[in-house]
Amino acid sequence: MKQEDKLPTISRAQLSLRNGQDKPEIWVCYQGQVYDVTASRLWRNGQHYEHWAGQDLTQELQDAPHSAHVFKKFPIIGRLA
């Protein structure tokens, strides 16, 4: 069994509550994996430039000035249901 198979499943509703406003955790999803970005100063209050936490950012990353490697800095805490 792969490590990612052991991760809990996180619903879109659970993800949406970790938007930097409703709960202290700040989560984002990319390619089905949910990342905890709470520790990042760039995600304070749940916003990073024009991107908002608590949602799947897979499509939005296409317009970002960086690549997906930025997610390697953050722990994967689950898989999006």
- pLDDT category at 3 given cuts 50, 70, 90 is low
Q: What is the CATH number of the domain that holds 53?
A: 3.10.120.10
- 10, 80 contact by CB (below 8 A): yes
Containing domain of residue 62, as a range? Answer: 3-80
**Average pLDDT of span 59-73:** 81
**Each residue's pLDDT tens digit, 17-37:** 999 999 999 999 999 999 999
**Average pLDDT of span 12-21:** 97
Q: Could you give the CA distance from residue 73 to residue 36 in angstroms, rounded to a whole number?
A: 10
Give me the number of domains the chain comprises: 1
Predicted TM-score of the model (pTM): 0.88
